[in-house]
Amino acid sequence: MRRLSIIGGGSWGTALAIVLAPRFPQVRLWVYERDLALRMQRVRENDLYLPGFNLPANVSVTSRLDEALDGAEIVLGVMPSHHARRLYLEMLPYLEPSVLLVSATKGLEEGSLLRMSQVIAEVVSERFEPRVAVLSGPTFAREVARGEPAAVVIASPDHELACLVQAAFSGPTFRLYTNSDIIGVELGGALKNIVAIGAGVCHGLGLGSNTLAALISRGLAEITRLAVAMGAEARTLAGLAGLGDLVLTSTGDLSRNRTVGLKLARGHRLDE
């Protein structure tokens, strides 16, 4: 695998471009905002979403999907979940049937509540049968961009695909573990955000570690029961994509969902 395209130039997409750049001769990063893409290409930094980190020389930035996807062997989707369907529809004419599609988007589609791999399958199967994997786990973008060690899961019912992506993406500080339970991995990444908001509320109210431990452990139990009812394996939620991501998002100072809960507890409105 020589050509990687990353669709989504937020903090996580940019961090993935940085950490994966040594693994590929060429990485193309698609950014929605044309002015930001031009600035990133010129100054070699995402000063809006991930300031302070230089883009490697082999990362090219564009706001054109046709340029980003030209010749791509792996397409890594890192767009917000509420934009996923629209973007995959726009990407469809430029995707080759041999492409490997990897989703690093956490969340469910609004309205349909479909997982991202299901959205991809619905859209892309209009042209060809897609090979889809999901990347998820306990990661903060800034720590990954700094080169701090991180471990994530690459999940797909297609074991060969998961192994291909594992081999392509794994590096000295970025380790991937394969998993066939794509349902559990996606639900773990989506549902932990609810508990993380509650963890922020606990902190904002001045509640202690006992309360937080109770919230995380009972929250994990509820997430696991729901995921199993939807077809997941319970053990998946005890791993990186479940417990690992839940603990990080509920306790880390870089967690956006925890920050939301913290501000709610201090009297802010959600729309603020």
Looking at residue 150, what DSSP letter applies? Answer: E
Catalytic residue among 85, 106, 115, 192: 192
Handedness of CA 61, 70, 169, 56 (dihedral sign): negative
Give the list of residues 6+ apart from residue 222 with CB closer than 8 angstroms, or none: none
CA 11 to the chain's CA centroid:
10
Q: Alpha helix (H) ranges present in the chain?
A: 11-20, 34-43, 65-69, 84-91, 116-124, 141-145, 159-169, 182-204, 209-229, 245-251, 256-265
- For the chain, the residue count is 272
- 106 catalytic residue (yes or no): no
Cβ-based neighbour number of residue 142 at 10 Å: 15
Encoding tokens for residue 111?
């309205």
Encoding tokens for residue 76?
């890594």
Handedness of CA 257, 145, 183, 240 (dihedral sign): negative
Q: How far apart are CA 248 and CA 244, in angstroms?
A: 6
Catalytic residue numbers, as ranges: 192
